[in-house]
Structure 1
């Protein structure tokens, strides 16, 4: 090659051509260094003929490449996936490529880094910040910045502890090999249904060809053990396996379960990893040495050279949809990667999404069902609590029947779980004297009180302030009132009702790392917790044999807001959290508190009629031409200047294409009209499946200019409508 077409890691640029200097050899997928203006930049050589609309010039006008990076080239299937993702989700190819090159330090070759860990000595002067840092760091080690993040202190505090000898330096190799899991380490007794399902998955792995499988099993049916057998087969074939989990908090318990089956933990990939661990994992993955990788959605774009199996666990989860940057859905991209790699993709869930069920109906996906719980365990009894007929006491949120059931469970020495999908103490705080409400200065959203940390926080932009003692408006002391419940308020109520009970609050605020999640699992499994109070974080993946009671505090909470998937999401969430009860030998019960007992989704939950709910919900989507029968795409316009955002949105609306099978709604001010200081407007494109939405939107938006301060983003197949 005398010239090379590159995608550089700059989302503002399209592909560029460079000259290959004499004596340098490059191939498609090669990671190289190229000049961009006065500075060098990482890029990847792309296939000849890709991006044919790039303007070509003579070789003598091209700038030469600066060098080739000592790393394996990105495999061709990954390059095709990057192209497809960029095209389908209307994202710059460089933005998608950045996810594949997620650890730039991994491109620097073998080296060591200096990390720090506790030495056992104490500093001469112990400050509250130093004490907090040492307590939170515990037995972990890392770079200064990483330890500061773990300890929630400044870098200066960590450097002070190093200077005082409380933290000692450790030289760490960044390329230590990972131990290989052993497919025959432990024997697992499977039920006849599990064995039949496992045999089918093993057969597909052996075929080394693309299959998309919906593994549909009720909660507690042993889906994990089934797909572990498929992983064992991939290991025997020297293939790599990718397991996607919806939350990094689930990673640590999964690693322990995996190690019990295969002798060693898989390679983890998520945002909570230290920089040195990310570097080591990326290099091992790219060389094919990491045989099994478990991670969050970003693990999907890593450069696996020998990918033989992809598993998407809890595949119905909406957290697989990325809401910032490249707005892709990991479940759908996983299927495309399996197609391009020629390997099976398993979508495992107790409550598969309607989109996945529809693919089964069309014959594109295979269905494997596990209709019964493993080991003879029974599904829990469902009890409805009508809050209009049996309300909680004034100022309380737990209804009397649920209180009585919790008391009985406590007396038997068993465990309970209360579910409310709302973090913090209260969703709204106001002044009883003047009516002042605490609103985020950056967003059109109320500040949420977090009483455990004595702060008010915005759950959209992260802005936080200390909870004041007096109203900022009228200066009246002790006038602030919490309106509505969050999990912290439910925890206070539990403490008042059962002062002897040991409780655990489980949210993304308390389980903010895999290590914290692992500690929580150990406490519950060891009997150190009587009552768990949690958000959606506790609805999936956890197995506690002594947990026999689940209480859903507000089953109607997710039905508000006009989300087209609200009923399905509510059904999935409550079914999943109900599945935490009675997973061992003891039977379980689930109490569902509701004021909307006649709502179809609530009736389906109380009657245990999953088939009727999905049939009715699918029929209503079909009538409305909503996904999976029709398509949506959102266009979001934002600017720090409210007038500019509105004016740009209106110009885009006026230029909307007129085509059969396509409707454009809006522009309208977004429900969350201000986010992180930017004013937001939305348009919604609704089209038949046969319409080429991406091409239409691409041509439409390319005909309009807007100010540099204005951002216009497209969300294909949106899950959020705020």
Structure 2
């Protein structure tokens, strides 16, 4: 593995250096260093590539031996940006090797704001000279008075017209001056008074502060029941990181839905943190990247891509809701941000804290193996109790025909609303209905680009694919048999549950929370405000309502279809369902009033329902481990998937077949497939999958490299490698 590279280049300026380009290439290219140009490992440079000018980074291997410098094209310029630090360069190389990605493709994620590499624009203003020959009119006196209080100032801030300012400059009373760069982010105050911690919270916070102060790599699982105050506790560790003069990174699974978290941060530290997510404007993205690189963003809160920001002195990484699958990137470079956060912390000699009420089995296995330590918050904060949970057997108390809410759930909502409390209905399915079919011929409305049914969105009067985005109007006739008005919606989505709730509870003020109508931070903040201010009686939502909200007046949660996540053959289906439903249940009864949770299920005897019913997640985890360990399924074995895709069905199937024939054969390794993927077509591309399963002690990356080298893959076919897959679609 490359080491920090000050010794790679001799003191004498090198004649040639390797430059890594943000392209899916095998490695760095060598470039000549023009005389007098100073470069070092990590320098951001502009180099020629064919007819183009490309940004790149001077990398960490010696230039190729034996290649005459005269044959090398020269570096064009060195950009005025802080060099990429050794820890980040090592991280890029490590992620590339682990995920079998091109180093340049990984490095591109660390260059996600190219405009930040340019010199910041200089802004000019005015300052008083203390001299000049002009007459001091009342308007000029106001300008001089303003500059005496604060200088320099931009012209638009001075209390005079442009003509007055020009006249003062001509008279020599004021002169141009460079305005100082205002800090983009306020510095959070670690001594700002925060909420009081319980005795248990204080003990856990002290242990976390000690890890931060040690300036050493460690990984800690912070496990606490929903509502136990995990956020307030780990913010104490952030405060210690600030006292140490280092930077802190907090990863959240859905940064756009984190308005309440940001409010807690502001209450604790007196200002907002820096943010990093896909909805930032280019200007804010540029300023944030530059501030991070210069150490001027002490705390950054972001989505998974924030791992690749250029922190010069990263002192703490928090991964909140570490079990969330949103931390897995499925496109481009395929990686899991939770696991890569641990690696980034190791290269930065910093502690990493994984936070969850329902940790992933991978994290639990690492705790049991002694690789991670664990700290626990076993009770809710402030005297609140965990909600009572009941499973409603839909076989015994079914909903009315054509409806989806069972009588006991309807009665519980009526009682809750009558007490002036809030209720929530949860269904992890967007839209009005997941399937539309013809009553006459049975034709099902399917996406033309994917192996998926089109979801009806009745409010917009459209059918939409949730995989590729294809949308079309709801047709008046069946496209197969031409029958008129024969299309009917099958099954419920949140829009349909909202429609039923409007009939059952006409006086209740309702709010639907789904990604269709909560598209970003502003909408999420407004929805949270309305619920907190009791402008809403009944919340109807998808999985976004499960993510850390604190609604003190919400006392009832009804899960419309608790069995939904258990369908299919996904290895982690039961684990994910427990995590999601436990999080949803945790929204109820977070203040003085007790909470109640009702799970509608056709399988009350299922281990998932029993674990939730008894609050015994530990027993469920033990049963899951017992099922996975004997056959070496994760976390007791390794998985890697090959996903073969192409527009030509025959050619794609041939490559999949060839890979199957070339699969490695050795003890402790099993290859499953090839087989058509469950989503056999996605975005117009045919898809096949192979799955390599290996015992825990076997390194899968060398096996995968040898395997892929045995098969020639045409340019029209793509083979995506997914090490440690989360999705099996």
Normalised by the length of structure 2, the TM-score is 0.89
- Corresponding residue for 1:43? 56
SS in 2 for 1:233: helix
Residue number among 44, 58, 67 corresponding to 2:77 in the alignment: 67
Residue number among 329, 341, 354 corresponding to 1:322 in the alignment: 329
User: Does residue 667 of structure 2 align to residue 660 of structure 1?
Assistant: yes
User: Does residue 700 of structure 2 align to residue 693 of structure 1?
Assistant: yes
Q: Which runs of 5+ in 2 are unaligned?
A: 1-13, 124-178
Distance in 2 (alpha carbons) for counterparts of 1:448 and 1:565 = 25
Distance in 1 (alpha carbons) for counterparts of 2:336 and 2:181 = 31
Q: Please say if residues 251 and 294 of structure 1, whose CA atoms lie closer than 8 Å, have aligned partners that are also in contact.
A: no
Distance in 1 (alpha carbons) for counterparts of 2:643 and 2:618 = 36
- Corresponding residue for 1:365? 372
SS in 1 for 2:189: coil
Equivalent residues in 2 for 1:99-110 (5 A)? 99-110=109-120
SS in 2 for 1:410: helix
Distance in 1 (alpha carbons) for counterparts of 2:122 and 2:363 = 45
User: Does residue 16 of structure 2 align to residue 3 of structure 1?
Assistant: yes
Distance in 1 (alpha carbons) for counterparts of 2:520 and 2:540 = 18
Equivalent residues in 2 for 1:410-449 (5 A)? 410-449=417-456
Equivalent residues in 2 for 1:206-605 (5 A)? 206-605=213-612
Residue number among 27, 37, 42 corresponding to 1:29 in the alignment: 42
User: Does residue 200 of structure 2 align to residue 193 of structure 1?
Assistant: yes
- Corresponding residue for 1:650? 657
- Corresponding residue for 1:639? 646
Deviation at 1:663, TM superposition (A): 1.0
Q: Please say if residues 315 and 352 of structure 1, whose CA atoms lie closer than 8 Å, have aligned partners that are also in contact.
A: yes
Distance in 2 (alpha carbons) for counterparts of 1:530 and 1:452 = 21
Deviation at 1:378, TM superposition (A): 0.2
Larger radius of gyration: 2
Deviation at 1:619, TM superposition (A): 1.1
Cα distance change on mapping 1:414 and 1:278 into 2, 3 Å: same
Deviation at 1:487, TM superposition (A): 0.7
Bigger mean CA offset, 554-563 vs 473-482: 473-482
Residue number among 612, 615, 624 corresponding to 2:622 in the alignment: 615
Residue number among 632, 637, 655 corresponding to 1:630 in the alignment: 637
Q: Which runs of 5+ in 1 are unaligned?
A: 114-171
Normalised by the length of structure 1, the TM-score is 0.90
SS in 1 for 2:640: strand
SS in 1 for 2:88: helix
Q: Please say if residues 217 and 223 of structure 1, whose CA atoms lie closer than 8 Å, have aligned partners that are also in contact.
A: yes
- The CA RMSD over aligned residues, in Å, is 1.5
- Corresponding residue for 1:704? 711
Deviation at 1:476, TM superposition (A): 2.9
User: Does residue 88 of structure 2 align to residue 78 of structure 1?
Assistant: yes
Distance in 2 (alpha carbons) for counterparts of 1:652 and 1:520 = 49
Deviation at 1:3, TM superposition (A): 1.1
Q: Please say if residues 632 and 696 of structure 2, whose CA atoms lie closer than 8 Å, have aligned partners that are also in contact.
A: no
Deviation at 1:478, TM superposition (A): 2.1
Cα distance change on mapping 1:175 and 1:566 into 2, 3 Å: farther
CA deviation vs aligned residue, 1:181-211 (integer Å, no higher than 9, x gap): 1112223210000000000001111111111
CA deviation vs aligned residue, 1:515-542 (integer Å, no higher than 9, x gap): 1110111010011111111111111210
Deviation at 1:465, TM superposition (A): 1.2
Distance in 1 (alpha carbons) for counterparts of 2:329 and 2:542 = 20
Cα distance change on mapping 1:71 and 1:436 into 2, 3 Å: same
Q: Please say if residues 194 and 269 of structure 2, whose CA atoms lie closer than 8 Å, have aligned partners that are also in contact.
A: no
Equivalent residues in 2 for 1:128-167 (5 A)? none
User: Does residue 31 of structure 2 align to residue 18 of structure 1?
Assistant: yes
